[in-house]
Structure 1
Amino acid sequence: MPRRSRVDPVAIAAVGLHGVAAVADLTALGMPSSTIARRVHAGHARRLLRGVVKEGPDEPTDDQRAAAALLYAGAGSVISGGEALRRHGLTDPNPGRRILVLVEAQRQRTSSAFVEIERTERLPTATITDDLAIAPLDRTVIDTARRQDRIDVVRAVLTEAVQKGRTTVARLAAELAAGSQRGSALPRRVLHDELGAGVRSVAEAWARELHAESDLPRVLWNPRLYDPAGTYIAQADAFFPDVGLAWEIDSVRHHFLLPDWDKTLRRRARMQAFGLVVAHTRPSRTRADRAAVIEELWGSYRLAASRPCPDLRVVVAS
């Protein structure tokens, strides 16, 4: 390839990623490092990280920031954490936080600017998304959860992945056990005590805490209900099997769209048609109006207990 006198898009495209290149790769094309430095100084190129530049002075895109993070970390590095979670189609709980990049334990590279480096003995095999090396989903979820210091954020990260069917509680628990134990206390608590019991949302975790204070009998979380012939009825948020009481946690966020609300009403009507008593609670009340909610649940429980318990087959969440 002929020598080039400036840091231009063609040269970056030859050795870079998303319009970003490592200075070392550009100099290997024959560009003097002094030329690159002059271009940066003149505003024709922009230095994103030590040894990483892009053509033009404009702010980097999300793809360019991610590409720069990988180029800075070096060959074989893998993006994990919230940035990878978003690229897996899940919610980044901390948008704007530094990009987590995993590198081999022997690599001498430190965190810098918008990049957080984690050296690991368990460098995962990357999946390629948008031409970027991304950690597998289970590793991404656990790496993200380990970096949170609020239990509701940990709950949101873990339950979203499970609720959307992207992974299982067992797979996440195995990943947590196999990896770094730094920051693992909250994820372990949520996985073992809550998701392991069938809880599948932050709101349900709040409801579970309330139930623990109520002295109400045993409850199952997210069981699937069938009639004796095997006909599917519904999946209740919570279910008291001894009396046939379903407890629905009616999230305003989930029911904001009319189709969601219609689906909820149909599920409710179907459970009632099979003889179930159905109680409803908004998530906010499980925290702000706990005594009243417990009293209401006891009332619904007594009502269900006064009626014949429906003959159902109950399949617990796994």
Structure 2
Amino acid sequence: MPRRARLDPVAIASVGLFGVAAVADLTSLGMSSSTISRRVQAGHARRVLRGVVKEGPDEPTDDQRAAAALLYAGPGAVLSGGEALRRYGLTNPSPAGRLLVLVDAQRQRTSSAFVEIERTERLPAPVDVGGLPLAPLERAVICTVRRLDRRDAVRAVLAEVVQKGRTTVARLRVELAAGSQRGTALPRQVLDELEAGVRSVAEAWARDLHRDSDLPPVLWNPKLYTTDGTYLAQADAYFPDVGLAWEIDSLAHHLTLEDWDATLRRRARMQAAGLVVAHTRPRRLRQEKADVVAELWGQYRLAAGRPCPDIRVVPVS
């Protein structure tokens, strides 16, 4: 047998990814399947998926699991879903879940172990990220949220990608409309929220609370300026008729002293311009709804009793 036919890093590297290779590719080098099986049984290699092996007996890394999933799926496969989001630098909402791999509709391949196969007539052109072919960002996002059944989980995924400026609501709507409509009702409702200006799960809770209350109309995430063009802040919510800003003080945005200092400076700018600023912790939006509404009415009456400041308001686009 040729020396290169041994199941070693050199052989695997010539046909695989991240130290993982398809058995069919290794046999094409002249290696017998029995040799591969013996080395797996001896602990010199490990079977990751049916027809896919890796060098060494240790647990596969995240890169190796992803590579194995793609090799198992076959040529042209692309990684999508939460694992693709993680590789785009976003949050995977189900880190312990299966890896979603998209393949052409004609490919006869079924899900197995930690791999979920989705056959599609719209197999996207891959985007190379870290040496692996990923679905385009919008496709990966929609693939992810179509599989989530909790509104807040869908909100978290969609709000993060929009808030970070990685894509737009309009582009996500196009992708949502183009594919399978299974599981799209909830994402469509959350995109409506984002289009109205909501940019986080906590703000979505605030929107729900406001909708179910008798509070006056509010603008979500408008940018506030003085009449001379000085930027004040982008308020979480704003009651324009009285000059009341409503801030949702999420702990995630106040983890450091610098974060807290920035919040205090932001509050001081708004108050110096004549605005009344109300603050609410996210958990109270779910657990103390009546109290929050009562407090907002109190702040609203306070603002209404003062001259409304001359503020230029730019609604979220």
Question: Partner of 1:243 in structure 2?
Answer: 242
In the TM superposition, residue 253 of structure 1 has moved relative to its aligned partner by 2.1
**Equivalent runs, 1:245-284 vs 2, <5 Å:** 245-284=244-283
Partner-residue secondary structure (3-state), 1:116: strand
Rounded Cα–Cα distance in structure 1 between residues aligned with 2:4 and 2:230: 71
Question: Partner of 2:34 in structure 1?
Answer: 34
In the TM superposition, residue 229 of structure 1 has moved relative to its aligned partner by 2.2
Rounded Cα–Cα distance in structure 2 between residues aligned with 1:229 and 1:104: 57
Question: Partner of 1:289 in structure 2?
Answer: 288
- Whether 1:16 aligns to 2:32 is no
Cα deviation code 1:7-35 (max 9, x no counterpart)? 11100011100000011111111111111
Rounded Cα–Cα distance in structure 2 between residues aligned with 1:93 and 1:269: 36
Partner-residue secondary structure (3-state), 2:306: coil
Rounded Cα–Cα distance in structure 1 between residues aligned with 2:274 and 2:7: 73
Question: Partner of 1:179 in structure 2?
Answer: 179
> Contact conserved, 1:279 with 1:297, CA < 8 A, in 2?
yes
**Scaled by the length of structure 1, what TM-score is found?**
0.97
Cα deviation code 1:103-129 (max 9, x no counterpart)? 111111100001000011111111111
Rounded Cα–Cα distance in structure 2 between residues aligned with 1:169 and 1:316: 16
Rounded Cα–Cα distance in structure 2 between residues aligned with 1:214 and 1:268: 25
In the TM superposition, residue 131 of structure 1 has moved relative to its aligned partner by 0.6
Question: Partner of 1:137 in structure 2?
Answer: 137
In the TM superposition, residue 5 of structure 1 has moved relative to its aligned partner by 4.5
Partner-residue secondary structure (3-state), 1:198: coil
Rounded Cα–Cα distance in structure 2 between residues aligned with 1:299 and 1:5: 78
Give the letter for the 2:302 counterpart: L
Q: Which runs of 5+ in 1 are unaligned?
A: none
Rounded Cα–Cα distance in structure 2 between residues aligned with 1:75 and 1:139: 19
Question: Partner of 2:74 in structure 1?
Answer: 74
Give the letter for the 2:234 counterpart: Q
Q: Which runs of 5+ in 2 are unaligned?
A: none
Cα deviation code 1:192-220 (max 9, x no counterpart)? 1x111100000001111111122111111
> Contact conserved, 2:5 with 2:29, CA < 8 A, in 1?
no
Rounded Cα–Cα distance in structure 1 between residues aligned with 2:251 and 2:76: 44
Rounded Cα–Cα distance in structure 2 between residues aligned with 1:175 and 1:184: 11
Rounded Cα–Cα distance in structure 1 between residues aligned with 2:224 and 2:174: 29
> Contact conserved, 1:5 with 1:35, CA < 8 A, in 2?
no
Give the letter for the 1:225 counterpart: L
Give the letter for the 1:233 counterpart: L
Percent same amino acid at aligned positions? Answer: 77
Partner-residue secondary structure (3-state), 2:253: coil
- Whether 1:45 aligns to 2:51 is no
**RMSD, matched Cα:** 1.2
In the TM superposition, residue 3 of structure 1 has moved relative to its aligned partner by 5.1
Question: Partner of 1:116 in structure 2?
Answer: 116
Partner-residue secondary structure (3-state), 2:251: coil
Question: Partner of 1:90 in structure 2?
Answer: 90
Give the letter for the 2:241 counterpart: D
Give the letter for the 1:272 counterpart: Q
Q: How many pairs were matched up?
A: 317
In the TM superposition, residue 315 of structure 1 has moved relative to its aligned partner by 1.2
> Contact conserved, 1:18 with 1:63, CA < 8 A, in 2?
yes
Moved over 6 A (4+): none
- Whether 1:107 aligns to 2:107 is yes
Rounded Cα–Cα distance in structure 2 between residues aligned with 1:61 and 1:249: 39
Rounded Cα–Cα distance in structure 2 between residues aligned with 1:22 and 1:90: 29
Rounded Cα–Cα distance in structure 2 between residues aligned with 1:187 and 1:261: 33
In the TM superposition, residue 2 of structure 1 has moved relative to its aligned partner by 4.3
